[in-house]
Structure 1
């Protein structure tokens, strides 16, 4: 008999011994179903459907050489992107599934590491590979859209966003050791999940029904002796027919890589590679602009300053941030009756990271405060007022940024069945607190006082004169103690929600069952974000994060339906979600999809949906944010005199500009239209094969942007935004004011393609091959109404300059997995297509290619009797360095897309019982 899956545990079945000769499970299924009215059919590489027997089905099934499947699907389950129960291959959108075998064979130890090389992932995700500008968090960016456009779920439910900016979920707060599988929906899903699901959804399914004991250890190290990484986890679970309890403990520690330890990243001077010299004019000897020229200090006096005196700050910076994470995950359930179950899930995660940056630079003309050095200052030997000094204060030591995050998540609820319907009521409470401390900065107020004469700076006033005009080492301990500053940031995000959803057959027509789902959700979100510079005056060498306090109440109702139009071949699917936000209003988003199966082995699918992304609480409420942004001023070019917004040629040595950011309480949601068209082929006579091809088109309007580079370009080239781009009488930018606005528009088009094949025999064992690729045909971006539309597909523009990062036209991976007896192995190739970048070299715009990049990963494992497993792996087997990017600020390459470590060895040891 066929029963609901949650009722199967209460039914006694006599022990059966089923034969599987030659590795085929077809005889076993025949034996299992021979006295029933049911038979089976292959619906995919690893999926078998049990269906009603027709007159000729028995003969057809007997001829089918079915292979062992990872999963036998008897009844459908809820897939990511829908509350309805579908077979996986009947989904109306492409879904990548990374299950336990794939997770284990990659050797990945974090979710961010695992997702980084997925073909659909591109753009400006964050991770511990991002140092200058990173904060210890990790995000995922599908289709090159910002991380806030990809919704991250745990077990199909929303989670709280990170505590630093509240923009997106932090993947570092989800332990990989507790993960059962990851489903990546590559389609918009606002009609199902609400805000943020414009580019797609990453649904992380945790282990909940694990029985036994699992102990895992991992050690890895780059061949050059750094990035030493350790990971340990213990998972235990036990239960009976009425109850189950499991917990998982994990500890992860990642070592650092310094920029100086790789040839690619060791120097900021890239002229030999065809790039520019990105070394800093703020050097330990100083850049001192006098009335009769520019000089630099030496032990023997003062010499004329030359570009060769620029400072290579990469000698001190970390390229991979050392970090650690500890986690606890507990899940339990208790049957209250034959049809009702109570459950609870608790997760606690602690993360810590520490990044190193070069010592604080001082730009007296462009930093905060009055940093003019008085003519009568005790350390001024020139007898004139000096306004422009650029000094690297090595005496302070490197800047060190400490980040910590503590996250708690509790989900609890009831679920059950009423006849053929399933229902679930969930209450959730999530909390994240994040802290950041950046040390060895300079207090601009104290430095301003210390640069004045004795009438202002004297012992009675508690002032210590500061020597910015001497050689390195001339700033003594008393001066350092006087000017040293430290910036602290503390942010907390909270989310509480109550959700009810039910799904089941709504009725029946001639073509089959009409499936439906409906639900309601009430959610409260809040953020409390403060920093020591909340007044807006950033410490020199740091970033003023400002402050943001706000909360909102969201009420939502949603529904889905799937109507069969022709039995077993044509379905019409629909969904709609209504969302009401207390701070900006309401929105309704529908989705329609059509699935047609003209032959059992072929599925055609098409969908249309609208989506939205609500402005974050930081977007709407932030005040006092400041930073030195890496931007380009067209007024530094030789043709500056002919540009309407330039007052003479600006300083060519500058690459950073003081920029103020701010929230806007009048922001509206970003909106989108998502279209997709796809085909899935699972030939019945070639049962281990599966292929799919899907076209996607995402159109996004009212994009929230704060692009200071756009403001500078429009100011210089057209004389616009003079109230936002502030220049002094020499034409140099003193400040850029960039508040958030709904001004941008995007359209991303492309194709996803995948193939999988699985074969098994007694001689060769199990062999599984797959290829997954994504082609970005176009990425049309318009910064503001009236501005030109740019196609960014195949380009790289660093996020430090306000760009979208790396957007390769092609990104793919392919791999082969083998298992025979106690042996198993995997070989994977990752590929990133070449890119183009543009930058200014010798006052001319230059476009160059960033060459394509591929890595080869290998793992071999052996299972010892009694549950032991040992594996050794090599990532980047050919030691292929990332491609050089002349416009990349961090380490001369895009750390969000590539990996700097080089050849990397690791071993794993596990015990399962």
Structure 2
């Protein structure tokens, strides 16, 4: 590659307001561009901001050139005449470096070589080209005209055109995202956090970075980073590397990397406000942000403040989610046997309350709990982001970043269900209990305690991140020393629960429950309203969870040129990192005796020290056509041992318009501190017991037919200090085509394969299936004499394996003319060909590709064969607009109906988004948009516990209108 003049390390590169991707829109205001007096770097910052384009420049050259204040003409909004005028009396010129990126280069050999290489015909820059900054997946810093792996990039103008207000909302519809990510769309089972899952692998297999650096995991479990603690208003761009990267970043980067790049070089003042609501007059959401930046030749300071508030959607307010009885839709009746009138099992019959007294209980007495539940959690967030840079000498700069984020959410769940036979405590109702009219001991009562009111779940997270360090040059090698400390404190309170100890006493006779013991008898056998306020006060309880995660680190990275061979310049990077991680997680139920109606989160206390060393190299094998890239990382963990992971990649360009790329890497995911240290975790899991089928008497593990009315089972989870890392092998092969005679067109196709072993799993459904069908795991699946499961013990083990194979395809085209303005079309898709999953050695290997198994049942979620989006975007003068289509392919789900297995198809789903914006003179911008223009509801899923659809994949809101207004000074 003969662009070696770009390799020297004074490159600090990107000086535009924002790094734009191919999918961004770039054009200048027709009224022209006004530039301030000063060095050329500051002028280009202003130019990039006004014209919405990436300008890439060798900063030391630009800082040395002083220009006067001037007004540049931009006829028809075109960029070229203005740049020509600006650079006319300088030794610099410009050239394309991607569909929407422009490189400022020397008028000498560099420009000539770029033209020889085909840069004028839109080089294949993936989604973004960055000079002097490493793309995600590498620490090497050079003109990265092509990458060894596919990278999706979402940047500031594209963020505006989507109307998204949170990072999780932005990532949800990316084709490579599938499986069990969480967000505020997940209510029962959610905790106010948001995660991302690439390739359908768990969120702990996707590494989330900020500015290329690790961040602390969420305080509720430490398994993955919480995207809700990253304010979108402070984001410059998001790079999604769809390839394993443990050799570069260490643990967790098995499925890929999400790198959130924050705004740093902004100058001026931006104020933005947003408001939206659905056509059903709910989910009223507002967002306000202020960004200010100022700089000089010696330093820069930027401040960003933001406030976000999301409204609520209730399950009862959508036709799809208002009832848990899905028989008319072809599903099952998922209503609860714990009803307000009660399910009372006597020695000879089962009765319930009615207006005329007790009568026989029937399945039509099941309770629809959706009348109370939230489908979208109301939440709010406030954030502060501060960035500062200071030049200390000609070769050393200091930097610091501070981010503080406060998040709060509150959702409603149905009133506490009580199952006296299966919940914590000795909940038998004595024969002589004051409210027992039947004269016999009653062990099985199922009752919905409406008198307590709905359960209310409150979640709060406070996060603080601080990074500081030095960066500079030593003999043309660029180095960076960074010290970081991150802290997150998470709290959860679930109220209107039942104290099992008080309830145990309240269900006994006068010899145990009497005035001297301050016991209040509890009436579980009466109709709704029979439980008095005194009784409610006696049994009411709440569950509090408190978790703190901390991370401190010291990192040193250096990169530069090792020298040259006959094919070009050899680039290298190396570094070391020392990191300390800790978690202190506890709850009021840490003894394992959880309040009834909640999940016993237990406790976990752990810490570890990690030492790592890594190196990278890019070796040209044939000038301008063949490169070998390699990386290796060694990681040593204080609690389980060490891991070494290499990566090798080959890039071959047989001719300028075509590139072939291939890579192989190993990866690992360290067991989390919760995986290794948690104890006392209990939950009523939504599981299926094969012993409830009519053929139960033929199954080795069944003691007769179990209770068919049950769908929840008490499950005890736990950590394991002997866990080892999950390991993986990642392979990819791709082709990128950018024909020089078809300006603005880009196409790529990449095949990927991930093989994962020693997967840490805890699958109670697997244990139950093996117990029922083969009589195994009797020490983990506990049944009573009637054959009903009383509890399941499911501690974590290294027992699973996975293999995921698929392909990513992208197409892009851009066209600009005086009559039409700027038109851009893009298509992005991901295909999962197979997703082989083996829960444990010896168990069946299942292909989950194209299936849905709810996370509430221990499944991997929705794994569609196809997921894609396409869009057309337009800008002319002050007007711009976008039209985007999101597609999720059909899925299959399996369940049992009338004792017979059923395989059902979940229909494909398509939604349409539209936005129109107008840029008013003097820096004002107004936009109006609508998401889900056709008001298409999500497809019905018979096995989905939350609201009859998969909230992790689809959106229940319906047609949603929003408007934004911004002003820049």
Aligned to 1:712: 768
Aligned to 2:268: 212
In the TM superposition, residue 298 of structure 1 has moved relative to its aligned partner by: 2.0
Aligned to 2:959: 903
CA distance in 2, matches of 1:43, 1:70: 11
Give 3-state SS (helix, strand or coil) of 1:275's partner: coil
Give 3-state SS (helix, strand or coil) of 2:217's partner: coil
Q: Say if 1:629 and 1:657, in contact at 8 Å, map to a contact too.
A: yes
In the TM superposition, residue 40 of structure 1 has moved relative to its aligned partner by: 7.0
Q: Deviations over 1:26-55 (max 9, x none)?
A: 677788899999987655323456597599
In the TM superposition, residue 418 of structure 1 has moved relative to its aligned partner by: 2.3
1:45 and 2:99 are equivalent in the alignment = yes
CA distance in 2, matches of 1:411, 1:253: 28
Aligned to 2:256: 200
Aligned to 1:7: 60
1:627 and 2:668 are equivalent in the alignment = no
Alignment of 1:453-852 (within 5 A): 453-852=509-908
In the TM superposition, residue 756 of structure 1 has moved relative to its aligned partner by: 1.1
In the TM superposition, residue 687 of structure 1 has moved relative to its aligned partner by: 2.0
Q: 1:697 to 1:301 in 2, by over 3 A?
A: same
Give 3-state SS (helix, strand or coil) of 2:504's partner: helix
Aligned to 1:249: 305
Aligned to 1:291: 347
Which of 153, 166, 182 is 2:238 aligned to?
182
Q: Say if 2:97 and 2:119, in contact at 8 Å, map to a contact too.
A: no
Alignment of 1:863-882 (within 5 A): 863-882=919-938
Q: Say if 1:24 and 1:66, in contact at 8 Å, map to a contact too.
A: no
CA distance in 1, matches of 2:112, 2:347: 98
In the TM superposition, residue 768 of structure 1 has moved relative to its aligned partner by: 1.4
In the TM superposition, residue 239 of structure 1 has moved relative to its aligned partner by: 1.1
CA distance in 2, matches of 1:573, 1:775: 27
Alignment of 1:255-270 (within 5 A): 255-270=311-326
Aligned to 2:33: none
Aligned to 1:121: 177
Give 3-state SS (helix, strand or coil) of 2:271's partner: strand
In the TM superposition, residue 575 of structure 1 has moved relative to its aligned partner by: 0.1
In the TM superposition, residue 816 of structure 1 has moved relative to its aligned partner by: 1.2
Q: Deviations over 1:525-546 (max 9, x none)?
A: 0000000000011111001000
Give 3-state SS (helix, strand or coil) of 1:703's partner: strand
Which of 194, 207, 212 is 1:156 aligned to?
212
In the TM superposition, residue 58 of structure 1 has moved relative to its aligned partner by: 11
CA distance in 2, matches of 1:241, 1:368: 67
Q: Say if 2:268 and 2:968, in contact at 8 Å, map to a contact too.
A: yes
Q: Say if 1:771 and 1:812, in contact at 8 Å, map to a contact too.
A: yes
Q: 1:783 to 1:72 in 2, by over 3 A?
A: closer
Q: Say if 2:121 and 2:740, in contact at 8 Å, map to a contact too.
A: no
Q: 1:593 to 1:19 in 2, by over 3 A?
A: farther
CA distance in 1, matches of 2:691, 2:481: 60
CA distance in 1, matches of 2:347, 2:750: 65
Q: Deviations over 1:535-567 (max 9, x none)?
A: 011111001000000000000000000000001
Give 3-state SS (helix, strand or coil) of 1:78's partner: coil
Q: 1:572 to 1:482 in 2, by over 3 A?
A: same
Q: Say if 1:296 and 1:303, in contact at 8 Å, map to a contact too.
A: yes
Q: Say if 2:127 and 2:153, in contact at 8 Å, map to a contact too.
A: no
CA distance in 2, matches of 1:623, 1:314: 32
Q: Which moved more, 1:417-426 or 1:463-472?
A: 417-426
Q: 1:768 to 1:439 in 2, by over 3 A?
A: same
Which of 948, 954, 959 is 1:892 aligned to?
948
Aligned to 2:17: none
Give 3-state SS (helix, strand or coil) of 1:105's partner: helix
Q: 1:333 to 1:33 in 2, by over 3 A?
A: closer
Give 3-state SS (helix, strand or coil) of 1:710's partner: helix
RMSD of the TM alignment (CA)?
A: 2.2
Q: Say if 1:618 and 1:663, in contact at 8 Å, map to a contact too.
A: yes
Q: Deviations over 1:779-799 (max 9, x none)?
A: 000000011110000000000
CA distance in 1, matches of 2:72, 2:748: 34
Q: 1:82 to 1:667 in 2, by over 3 A?
A: same
Give 3-state SS (helix, strand or coil) of 1:260's partner: helix
CA distance in 2, matches of 1:60, 1:719: 71
Structure 2 alignment gaps of length 5 or more: 12-57
Q: Say if 2:129 and 2:145, in contact at 8 Å, map to a contact too.
A: no
Aligned to 2:21: none
Which of 281, 296, 300 is 2:337 aligned to?
281
Aligned to 2:138: 82
CA distance in 2, matches of 1:542, 1:532: 11
Q: Say if 1:45 and 1:756, in contact at 8 Å, map to a contact too.
A: no
Q: Say if 2:121 and 2:744, in contact at 8 Å, map to a contact too.
A: no
Which of 369, 372, 379 is 1:323 aligned to?
379
Q: Deviations over 1:242-294 (max 9, x none)?
A: 01111011000001000000000000000000000000000000000011100
Q: Say if 2:479 and 2:558, in contact at 8 Å, map to a contact too.
A: yes
The normalised TM-score by structure 2 is 0.91
CA distance in 2, matches of 1:13, 1:685: 38
In the TM superposition, residue 870 of structure 1 has moved relative to its aligned partner by: 0.6
Q: Deviations over 1:6-33 (max 9, x none)?
A: 4245302456998877776667778889
Q: Say if 2:177 and 2:199, in contact at 8 Å, map to a contact too.
A: yes
CA distance in 2, matches of 1:59, 1:85: 21
In the TM superposition, residue 332 of structure 1 has moved relative to its aligned partner by: 0.5
Give 3-state SS (helix, strand or coil) of 1:641's partner: helix
CA distance in 2, matches of 1:355, 1:200: 32
In the TM superposition, residue 218 of structure 1 has moved relative to its aligned partner by: 0.4
Structure 1 alignment gaps of length 5 or more: none
CA distance in 2, matches of 1:407, 1:846: 46
CA distance in 2, matches of 1:72, 1:367: 55
Q: 1:72 to 1:605 in 2, by over 3 A?
A: closer
CA distance in 1, matches of 2:113, 2:486: 51
Q: Say if 2:657 and 2:737, in contact at 8 Å, map to a contact too.
A: yes
Aligned to 2:53: none
Alignment of 1:19-38 (within 5 A): none
CA distance in 1, matches of 2:515, 2:94: 91
Aligned to 1:382: 438
The normalised TM-score by structure 1 is 0.97
Give 3-state SS (helix, strand or coil) of 2:776's partner: coil
Alignment of 1:342-381 (within 5 A): 342-381=398-437
Q: 1:21 to 1:567 in 2, by over 3 A?
A: farther
Q: 1:74 to 1:403 in 2, by over 3 A?
A: closer
In the TM superposition, residue 61 of structure 1 has moved relative to its aligned partner by: 10
